[in-house]
Structure 1
């Protein structure tokens, strides 16, 4: 069941759904009075509600119960190099579903796309993808997609554990590292472009205190790595 973002319930224990969500419910899902929907308010509280009235531009629903789900405690920021075509769209969608807290698009030495002239429209599109994915997967928050950043600027942001995903057999194994080290609450993961990171970039990351890790025996595509590796980290460190 998809969920919809609303303001806090009123004194009469009702919520109002308007705008795009209203049209989705009425025109696409064709809901009727008496149907149940899940909503989430501005404080991140989830509710199950029953549709009481369907009006010309809004739906009024009555709160029936509060819903609780296990929460991911890990604050994982996915820093991902810009990718060609719609690969970046896919990464954003799946990263939100997995449980990533925020996403930073990154420009690296081998980054191919140049979005400098259309960055504003791209960011608007990416944030919309993140919002729709959050609704679909019943998240109580919507991860923020930040403005595009340069590689070295991103390296300076890490306040907890910074992990650079690099396909190098001499690097530490990601899963082994996660098992052998204490769980951290604040992690930044940086994945590369289609051509990977240069030797210079890897060395700079180490100088900034980032840990260079690899996935294992197979070399993943850039978009696959940006989806699979956050899932592994959340699986190992995501819950306290």
Structure 2
């Protein structure tokens, strides 16, 4: 079943899909009258709809039923150190599938990749397109946003507005604190997760956040940055689903 995100809401049980989404569904997917699609509106409502045919360049669909949101009970913000290669694309795709609310790429001290301003803009557009594709595939109710790239200090200041900040740290021994932190999370809390680069967090970065962030462990093995992000989101997804 195709998924589409729109800004407008149903009017008398009818939704009009416009723009590139309409073109894609009509000309590329070639949806036929009577086929069903899932529509998520900007007001947070979600519907199963039946295609009623094109109207010029637009696609008209009839609402069959309203369905529940697929979003987690908590908003999770991923502060991801920029990795080398295309690992960031995998991180975005998988973490969107797992329920992340926003991803903030962070230029940390030990990041190997250094992006200039032009590359940052080009990358951001591609990252957002990957997030949208993953949101459609996983039937999200929103498209998670990819924030502009920040340095570590900017990212920490941004995270300070959240209810909880978690930082998986390779120097943290034992899983007790991890289990305790997960058990203490409450429904509706906003949660920030900082994932370090291939070279690990710089000591000055840990010093900056230690009084506010909860340092946790992801186990006795050293994980790649993309694995650490997916592991952290998986743990939080399971916890948020049960609340």
The alignment partner of 1:37 has SS state of strand
Give the match for residue 210 of structure 2: 206
Equivalent-residue separation in structure 1 for 2:166 and 2:182 (angstroms)? 15
Give the match for residue 86 of structure 2: 86
Equivalent-residue separation in structure 2 for 1:124 and 1:187 (angstroms)? 25
The alignment partner of 1:147 has SS state of coil
User: Which stretches of structure 1, 4 residues or more, deviate above 4 A after TM superposition?
Assistant: 171-174
TM-score by length of 2: 0.89
Equivalent-residue separation in structure 2 for 1:95 and 1:199 (angstroms)? 27
Give the match for residue 176 of structure 1: 179
- Once the two structures are superposed, residues 72-93 of structure 1 have per-residue CA deviations (whole angstroms, 9 ceiling, x without a partner) of 1112111000111211111111
TM-score by length of 1: 0.90
Gaps of 5+ in 2: none
CA root-mean-square deviation:
2.0
Give the superposition deviation at 1:22.
2.3
* Contact kept in structure 2, 1:74 and 1:238, CA below 8 Å: no
Give the superposition deviation at 1:238.
4.6
Residue correspondences, number: 238
Give the match for residue 30 of structure 1: 30
Give the superposition deviation at 1:4.
0.6
* Contact kept in structure 1, 2:83 and 2:111, CA below 8 Å: yes
Name which of 185, 194, 201 aligns with 2:198: 194
The yes-or-no answer on 1:147 pairing with 2:151 is no
Give the superposition deviation at 1:38.
1.0
Q: Which moved more, 1:160-169 or 1:180-189?
A: 180-189
Equivalent-residue separation in structure 1 for 2:237 and 2:14 (angstroms)? 35
Q: Which moved more, 1:54-63 or 1:144-153?
A: 54-63
